[in-house]
Amino acid sequence: MKLILLGPPGAGKGTQAVRISERYGIPQLSTGDMLRAAVAAETPVGLAAKDIMARGELVPDDVVVQIISDRIDQPDCKNGFILDGFPRTVAQAEALEGLLKSKNMQLDSVVELAVDDAILIERIEKRAKETVGGPRADDNAEALKKRLDVYHAQTTPLISHYSGKEILRSVDGMSEIDRVTSDIISVLESA
C-alpha cells in the first residue's frame, strides 16, 4: 500500500503514520524527520536546510524530491510506504507522480487529516513544552505561524489536486487518537 498522509503541522500525521506503519508493515517516510537528521548530521543538505526550517519555510522542491526518490529505492519500500510531510506543494506532487511512474509504482490513497487552526496552535504549543531535550527549532510562535501560512498557501491546493484524481479521503483529525487511527484504517480498507 502506497499512501500519503496530508494535513497541517500538528495534525497528528507523525503519530498516525507510526500506527499505520505498524499495522501494514510498511515504512513511514517523513521528510521532516529525514531533514532534521540531515541537519543534526551536518550534511550538505542539512546545512542548506537548517535556517529555512527554523523559519518555518519550505526547503526547495528538488531537495525533498531527491530525498524521497532515494528513500523509495530502498528495499523496505517494495511493498509500500506512508509519505508523511511530502508532497507539500503541487510541484512536489507532480514530481512524485513522475517518479512513481518511472519506478512502476502507483499511489493508492491520499488521506487528509482535517484539524482547525486554533487546535493546531494549542497542540504545537503543548508539544513544544513537553518535548524531552527541548522544543524543535521551529516550534515557536513565529515559525509556527509561518508554517500554518505556508500550509494554507502552498499545501492546501493539493487537496483539490488529489480530489480531482479521486484518491482523496478525509478523516476528522480532531477526534481522539485511537478513533483517528480506526477512521484512517476504515477509509483505507474501503478504498
Hey, which residues are catalytic here? 13, 88, 127, 136, 147
Nearest to ligand ADP of 71, 147 (CB atom): 147
**Site residues (vs ligand ADP, CB under 6 A):** 9-10, 31-32, 35, 52-53, 56-59, 64, 85-86, 88, 92, 138, 147
Nearest to ligand ADP of 61, 191 (CB atom): 61
Which residue of the chain is nearest ligand ADP when measured via CB? 32
Nearest to ligand ADP of 151, 169 (CB atom): 151
CB of 166 to ligand ADP, least distance (A): 23
DSSP the chain: -EEEEE--TTSSHHHHHHHHHHHHT--EEEHHHHHHHHHHHT-HHHHHHHHHHHHT-PPPHHHHHHHHHHHHTSGGGTT-EEEES---SHHHHHHHHHHHHHTT----EEEEEE--HHHHHHHHHHHHHH-TT---TT-SHHHHHHHHHHIIIIITHHHHHHHHTT-EEEEETTS-HHHHHHHHHHHHHH-
